[in-house]
């Protein structure tokens, strides 16, 4: 602890954190993590042409639904598995001892690992977002042309054509789609920070993966737990206190679930996006602080 304080007293270095983050990205790439990304990207492309029997609107909705499922699966698996592997692998390779023997505080090491994982997740989501927008725009153009041609054969009026065009265009590329990708990124950030915190006291990689996965399931079902357990067990004041403590201990991942709105073509309010971003950053900061406190006391 005293050594750590001396290192921190020497000054926090953003460049050292960035170096650690870049090294983490390289380390994860060498683990062939990007092969996973290529497979999911192929799924996104295939999904664009997988549902020809549906109506025009349903085709676009299914494309977004499958694509966001792939985005969430990629980001959460990477957040849990990659983060759980980092600390044990550095200890096994004795890389950690080499790093900490230099004037690198443990807080910089942890932040470097966290931002390294987030850089890889962010880069992967960005590539898949660009691909999704391209495929969605192409598919929208195709189904719009087909639908309007069909309606014209049925002698539809100009007003009916305009209504159908607006309905299909509402399912295309828009700001709500980008807010949906941001929600996926924020959720992955919370899970990454959580997994990093757990790995600081976990006895094995498997323990970190299983525990983080279980916490994520509980976090996804917080609303049901509050409704069916807290509501029946406590009075109004007790329920509010218990729900608040529960939300602090376990991340409420439902805060980032705007995918249904995006798939339906509804607009996501700017206020909701800001609240979601603030909650995500708060969770990440809290888990990283606890992770540092645990890691400083960890015997290596």
pLDDT in tens, 134-186: 888 887 777 777 777 776 776 667 776 677 677 777 777 778 888 989 999 99
Alpha carbons 262 and 175: distance in angstroms, whole number: 9
CA nearest neighbour of 165 among 188, 183, 191, 147: 147
What is the C-alpha to C-alpha distance for residues 152 and 135, in angstroms, rounded to an integer?
26
Q: What is the pLDDT along the chain (300 residues), one digit of tens a residue?
A: 445 444 444 567 888 888 888 888 888 877 666 666 667 666 665 665 565 556 667 777 787 888 888 888 888 888 898 888 888 887 777 777 777 777 778 888 899 999 999 998 998 889 888 888 888 888 777 777 777 777 677 666 777 667 767 777 777 777 888 898 999 999 999 999 999 999 988 878 888 889 999 988 888 877 777 666 665 666 667 666 766 677 777 888 888 888 888 877 777 777 888 999 999 999 999 999 999 998 887 766
Domain ranges of the chain: 2-297
pTM value is 0.82
Write the CB contacts of 80 (distance below 8 Å, at least 6 apart in sequence).
Answer: 191, 195, 208, 209, 212, 213, 216
Contact of 150 with 92, CB cutoff 8 Å: no
* pLDDT tens digits, 64-94: 888 888 888 888 888 898 888 888 887 777 7
Q: Which residues contact 7 (CB under 8 A, 6 or more apart)?
A: 103, 104, 105, 106
**SS3 for 74?**
helix
């Amino acid at each position: 602890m005293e050594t750590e304080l001396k290192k921190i007293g020497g000054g926090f270095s953003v460049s050292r954190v960035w170096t650690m983050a870049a090294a983490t990205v390289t380390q994860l790439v060498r683990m062939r993590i990007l092969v996973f990304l290529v497979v999911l990207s192929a799924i996104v492309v295939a999904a664009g042409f997988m549902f020809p029997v549906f109506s025009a609107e349903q085709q676009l909705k299914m494309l977004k639904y499958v694509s966001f499922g792939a985005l969430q699966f990629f980001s959460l698996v990477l957040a849990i598995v990659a983060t759980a592997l980092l600390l044990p692998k550095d200890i096994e390779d004795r890389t950690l001892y080499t790093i900490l023997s230099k004037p690198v505080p443990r807080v910089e090491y942890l932040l470097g690992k966290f931002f390294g994982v987030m850089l890889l997740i962010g880069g992967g989501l960005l590539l898949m977002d660009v691909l999704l927008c391209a495929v969605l725009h192409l598919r929208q153009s195709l189904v719009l042309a087909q639908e309007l041609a069909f309606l014209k054969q049925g002698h539809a009026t100009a007003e009916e054509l305009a209504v159908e065009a607006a309905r299909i265009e509402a399912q295309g590329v828009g700001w709500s789609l980008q807010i949906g990708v941001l929600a996926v990124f924020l959720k992955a950030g919370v899970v990454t920070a959580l997994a990093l915190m757990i790995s600081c006291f976990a006895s094995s990689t498997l323990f970190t993966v299983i525990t983080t996965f279980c916490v994520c399931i509980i976090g996804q079902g917080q609303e049901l737990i509050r409704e069916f357990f807290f509501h029946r067990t406590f009075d109004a004041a007790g329920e509010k206190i218990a729900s608040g403590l529960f939300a602090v201990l376990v991340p409420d991942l439902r805060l980032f679930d705007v995918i249904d709105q995006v798939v339906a073509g509804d607009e996501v309010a700017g206020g909701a996006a800001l609240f979601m971003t603030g909650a995500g950053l708060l969770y990440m900061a809290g888990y990283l602080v606890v992770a540092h406190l645990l890691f400083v006391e960890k015997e290596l």
